């Protein structure tokens, strides 16, 4: 039996941050943001991810309602993945971090350089 319970906002925020902060989730979301892809296409576009890790990441995203999976009845089986509307909205929210990094990357690097060159206390 599966028990469900209401989740408070703070818990959902923490779980969402944990999910998008992992090593692979943002890469998968970014690739699927451009449209439906096969499993093998995702593997080629994210060459450093293992098959096991890609499978795990996609299953987590599917469980959270961010990705849909469609299995074609072919031999060998073909599986396509796509972002759901919920996944698209998360992609848009995360996109603002990318835009911020592009806009402020030089500022962050300059601050790091100043810090690294200052005498430590």
Average pLDDT, the chain: 90
Query: d(Cα 116, Cα 25) in Å, to the nearest integer?
Result: 31
Helix 9-20 / helix 25-33 crossing angle, nearest 10 deg: 80
Query: d(Cα 106, Cα 10) in Å, to the nearest integer?
Result: 32
Please say if the pLDDT value at position 7 is more than 80: no
Read off the pLDDT of each residue in 42-61 and give the average, rounded to a whole number: 96
Read off the pLDDT of each residue in 11-15 and give the average, rounded to a whole number: 85
Please say if the pLDDT value at position 6 is more than 70: no
First and final C-alpha spacing in the chain: 57
Query: d(Cα 42, Cα 20) in Å, to the nearest integer?
Result: 17
Higher pLDDT, residue 21 or 82: 82
Q: Where are the beta strands (DSSP E) in the chain?
A: 37-38, 67-72, 78-83
Report the residue count for the chain: 121
**pLDDT bracket for residue 18 (50, 70, 90):** confident
Lowest mean pLDDT: which of 10-24, 30-44, 59-73, 80-94?
Answer: 10-24
pLDDT digits (tens, 9 = 90+) for 20-49: 888 899 999 999 998 999 999 999 999 999
Residues 6+ apart with CB under 8 A from 39: 54, 58, 79, 81
Domain 9-117 architecture: Orthogonal Bundle (1.10)
* Percent of the chain whose predicted confidence (pLDDT) is above 90: 60
């Amino acid at each position: 039996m599966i028990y469900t319970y209401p989740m408070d906002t703070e818990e959902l925020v923490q779980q969402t941050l944990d999910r998008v902060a992992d090593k692979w989730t943002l890469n998968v979301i970014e690739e699927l943001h451009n449209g439906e892809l096969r499993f093998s296409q995702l593997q080629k576009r994210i060459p450093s991810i293992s098959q096991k890790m890609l499978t795990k990441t996609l299953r987590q995203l599917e469980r959270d309602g961010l990705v849909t999976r469609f299995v074609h009845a072919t031999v060998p089986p073909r599986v396509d993945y796509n972002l759901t509307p919920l996944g698209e909205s998360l992609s848009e929210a995360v996109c603002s971090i990318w835009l911020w990094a592009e806009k402020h990357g030089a500022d962050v690097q300059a601050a790091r350089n100043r810090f690294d060159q200052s005498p430590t206390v």
